[in-house]
């Protein structure tokens, strides 16, 4: 049964609720009192879950821990290696097993190598050996459809998916960022974008402010009056790059998408000028911390920049 059919069924069941008569202490019938039974609560919750599942299916995402790049294992990696690791995370299933989009079986090394845009097998094997040695990934035999396969798993210390069921169903996401799978993969597919560029995105999410998507020194500060944005030079220093170097990288980081039935090319980072300082904002359709879809006010700068660029 499709997700839409399940939602319709849940809605019909809720509408078909029983009618109750409420009588107060004086024996008068109260029409202004609403009775919600446990069954009605269960039905409402099911409808909510169906809507959530539908949204995730249309714009799927993974959760990546914000401070992952600060973990000892990842501090030893170069930007290029970090980029490959973030790309890899977009292929996990609900068990953190790598699986190509739409595939029923575990992802093969040759499929992952192509996803990495690596033509040389030895280069790919060296990267995977480093990841395995650091405990970022591990291999395990799995039984599927009556056969045994060697599968690659990503350590859920760094990323995970939340489903209606499973080990991560109740896992907290306060310190995690939603990475939109299709967008990140689309960014990396661009000819001018390298794994090192994706590594910049990975390093940026540790600074992602909860409400604004601006890169900030205190990304979880809820009072905007006390948010301390990270300016361009500070971000460049954090990456070990020059301001000119990071500027060139940010220009190259674009991806094509459909906005209001039109093909547009949006930037991954927007520059926000405040006085003499230039701050950066990460495209909310690449990474987003809040629940639900990013509202239009969260990405208006990217649409305006595109309109200005193409006129």
User: What secondary structure does DSSP assign to 118-159, as a single string?
Assistant: ---HHHHHHHHHHHHHTTSEEEEEEEETTEEEEEEEE-TTTE
pLDDT tier at 54, thresholds 50, 70, 90: very low
Q: What is the mean pLDDT of residues 152-170?
A: 88
Classified as helix, coil or strand, 246 is helix
Indicate the burial class of 57 (C-beta count within 10 angstroms; 0-12, 13-18, 19 or more): exposed
Q: Which residue do the tokens 């989009």 mark?
A: 101
pLDDT score recorded for residue 65? 97
Beta strands in the chain (DSSP E): 22-23, 29-30, 61-65, 137-144, 147-154, 159-160, 176-180, 254-259, 262-267, 269-274, 277-282, 287-288
147: tokens are 């056969």
Q: Which helix (H) or strand (E) holds 170?
A: none
96, 159 contact by CB (below 8 A): yes
Separation of alpha carbons 161 and 60, rounded Å: 10
For the chain, percent helix, then strand, then coil, each to nearest 5? 40, 20, 35
Instruction: State the pLDDT confidence band at 6, using cuts at 50, 70 and 90.
Output: very low
**pLDDT tens for residues 92-101?**
999 999 999 9
Q: Which of 48-62, 168-182, 295-309 has the lowest mean pLDDT?
A: 48-62
- pLDDT at 8 > cutoff 60: no
CA atoms 242, 177, 137, 100: torsion sign: negative
Predicted pLDDT of residue 18: 45
CA distances from 263 to 113, 202, 255 (A): 29, 26, 10
Q: For residue 108, what pLDDT is reported?
A: 97
């Amino acid at each position: 049964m499709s997700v839409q059919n399940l939602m319709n069924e849940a809605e019909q069941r809720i509408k078909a609720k029983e009618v109750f008569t409420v009588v107060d202490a004086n024996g008068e019938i109260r029409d202004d009192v609403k009775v919600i039974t446990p069954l009605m609560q269960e039905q409402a919750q099911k409808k909510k879950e169906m809507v959530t599942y539908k949204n995730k299916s249309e714009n799927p995402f993974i959760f990546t821990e914000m401070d992952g790049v600060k973990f000892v294992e990842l501090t030893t990696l170069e930007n290029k290696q970090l980029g490959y690791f973030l790309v890899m995370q977009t292929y996990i299933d609900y068990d953190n097993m790598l699986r190509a989009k739409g595939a029923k079986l575990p992802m093969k090394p040759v499929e992952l190598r192509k996803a990495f845009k690596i033509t040389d097998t030895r280069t790919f094997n060296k990267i995977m050996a480093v990841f395995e040695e650091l405990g970022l990934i591990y291999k395990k035999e799995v039984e599927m459809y009556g056969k045994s396969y060697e599968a690659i798993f990503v350590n859920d210390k760094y990323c995970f998916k939340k489903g209606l069921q499973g080990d991560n169903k109740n896992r907290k996401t306060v310190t995690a960022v939603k990475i939109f799978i299709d967008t990140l993969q689309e960014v990396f597919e661009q000819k001018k974008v390298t794994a090192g560029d994706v590594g910049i995105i990975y390093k940026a999410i540790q600074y992602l402010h909860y409400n604004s998507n601006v890169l900030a020194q205190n990304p979880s500060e809820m009072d905007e009056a006390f948010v301390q944005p990270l300016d361009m030079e500070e971000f460049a220093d954090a990456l070990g790059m020059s301001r000119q170097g990071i500027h060139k990288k940010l220009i190259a980081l674009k991806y094509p998408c459909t906005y209001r039935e039109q093909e547009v090319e949006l930037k991954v980072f927007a520059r926000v000028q405040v006085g003499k300082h230039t701050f950066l904002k990460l495209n909310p359709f690449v990474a987003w911390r809040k629940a639900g879809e990013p509202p239009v006010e969260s990405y208006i700068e990217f649409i305006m920049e595109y309109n200005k660029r193409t006129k």
